[in-house]
Amino acid sequence: MNVVKQGEPLPGPKNFFGLKNIREMGRKGLLEAMHGFWQTYGDLFEVQVGPRKLVVVVHPDHVRHVTMTQAANYEKLESYDTVRKYIIGNGIVTSIGDLWKRQRRLMAPFYTPKGIQAFADIMLRDTVEMIDRWDQLVTSQPKIEMFDEMALVTASIILKAIFSTESEKDILEIKDCVETMVSFSNGTQTNPFRLPDWVPTPYNRSYWKARGLVHSYINGILDERLNMDESAYPDDLLSKLITAEDPETGERMSRDLLLDESLTNFFAGYETSARTMSYVWYALATNPDVKARLHEELDRELGDEPPTLDELKRLPYTLQIIKEVLRLYSPAPVYAKDVVDDDILDGYRIEKGSTVMLFPYFTHRHPDFWDEPLRFDPDRHTPEATKARHSQAFHPFGAGQRICMGNHFSLLETHIILAILGKRFDPELLPDYEANFVMAGMLHISNGLPMMLKHR
């Protein structure tokens, strides 16, 4: 018997070709529209959008089904074609099957809690440089755009970690180019009236120019590195990627793959952390009691010198603040998988070819798993509270075999940034400012995050 017939049809807003759904999303934005559907149809529902069927997953049991117990049936197929084509090719975020398995096996050791200690010095050094920058800005130009500030430091950290890049000019140029590529790639999915890529419109040209610059930058570094004696390689991620060998075949990565993986690691590793850190400052400015406890912990545990890794362990509340930001303001509010074969999930049928959208943003606001979900409370992330909770109730980094490979990296990086800058600075929101969170690829604040920088 065909397994599809056994399940119930999924609930959801039914209308011709999903036209009303498209209108609703256009009018309200994806997050608000999906939130409305969630309130109406519950934790598992289907939304048709033109020819595509989106299955929205919110409940932690369903997250576990899709990412863990039945992970082989939920792959990164056509939903990732745009980002494959326009940004990262076949790097580890988008690769599948044997290639993904091999690349994950090769690269995972660089990102374990022990592996990332190799990058701690860069994180510390770059954050300390931010102290000088902010000391000057406090007097010369205290009104800052917080996302830009945080993007500066996280882009610098990841570019140094991958390529040992020291030039500030290169860092700014690559960061800007990747931002152009990401916004173009997002735009291709949301603008039905755009002209084909090869038409030399200013919009298309800016993309191709940015892509050309990024590729030639990485190719230049690759040429230089591959012509060097291996014993002279700097200790960075690129050297690790070049010399990593498949334990079964002894093979190394091809040059094309080295380019895709370098780009992927930069692409995956800087905007997410920059958004997390920006929302940390927002959360502190809107929760004075939390800020007071942060200051109390930092003053008690740290002297004037930047913390060592051991000292960071004495700052648990600082880390809990970051996790609470990842809960309430998940920088990646949704991630997707494509359904390989018909399946039954909690009695409902999931059709081959549909796209599952897993929404940490809603799981993290689910009243069955979070008491007063909208309250910002870092104590939700003590070891005891974490242990007592459903393990997929918190999935800002995804879950299962494809869980974010950089999760320890980003937690260490944001822990260091908050400890060092939080000890000295206390950025404030502008009077009457209200953040408008929207989804634009990642979680954005549509009106930006202008803040007044001041010393504590």
Contact predicate 126/153, CB 8 Å:
yes
Between 155 and 290, name the residue whose CB sits nearer to ligand HEM: 155
Q: Among 297, 312, 410, 425, indicate the residue that binds ligand HEM (CB under 6 A).
A: 410
- Cβ neighbors of 220 (< 8 A, separation 6 or more) are none
Query: How wide is the angle at C-alpha 128 spanned by C-alphas 127 and 132, nearest 5°?
Result: 115
CB of 336 to ligand HEM, least distance (A): 7
Distance CA(443)–CA(428), nearest Å, equals 21
253 binds ligand HEM (CB under 6 A): no
* Structure letter (DSSP) for residue 101: H
DSSP 49-76: ETTEEEEEE-SHHHHHIIIIITGGGEE-
Residue count of the chain, please give it.
Answer: 456
Q: Which of 402, 415, 423, 444 binds ligand HEM (CB under 6 A)?
A: 402
Q: How far is the CB of 265 from ligand HEM (least distance, A)?
A: 5
**Which residue, judged by CB position, is nearest to ligand HEM in the bound state?**
406
280 near 414, Cβ under 8 Å?
Answer: yes
Task: Please tell me whether residue 93 binds ligand HEM under the rule CB under 6 A.
Answer: yes
Binding residues for ligand HEM restricted to 321-380, rule: CB under 6 A: 331-332, 335
Q: Which of 28, 35, 104, 424 binds ligand HEM (CB under 6 A)?
A: 104
Token pair of 66 as six digits: 């899709």
Q: Is residue 112 within 8 Å of residue 409, measured between CB atoms?
A: no
Q: How far is C-alpha 281 from the chain's CA centre? A: 17
409 forms part of the interface with ligand HEM (CB under 6 A):
yes
Interacting residue with ligand HEM among 47, 268, 280, 290 (CB under 6 A):
268
If binding means CB under 6 A, how many residues of this protein chain bind ligand HEM? 22
CA end-to-end span of the chain? 68
Contact between 404 and ligand HEM by CB under 6 A: the answer reads yes
Stretch that binds ligand HEM, among 4-12, 205-213, 376-384, 397-405 (CB under 6 A): 397-405
**Cβ-based neighbours of 367, under 8 Å, separated by 6 or more:** 373
| Closest distance to ligand HEM from the beta carbon of 131 (Å) | 22
405 binds ligand HEM (CB under 6 A): yes
Binding site for ligand HEM (CB under 6 A): 67, 92-93, 104, 265, 268-269, 272-273, 276, 331-332, 335, 396-398, 402, 404-406, 409-410
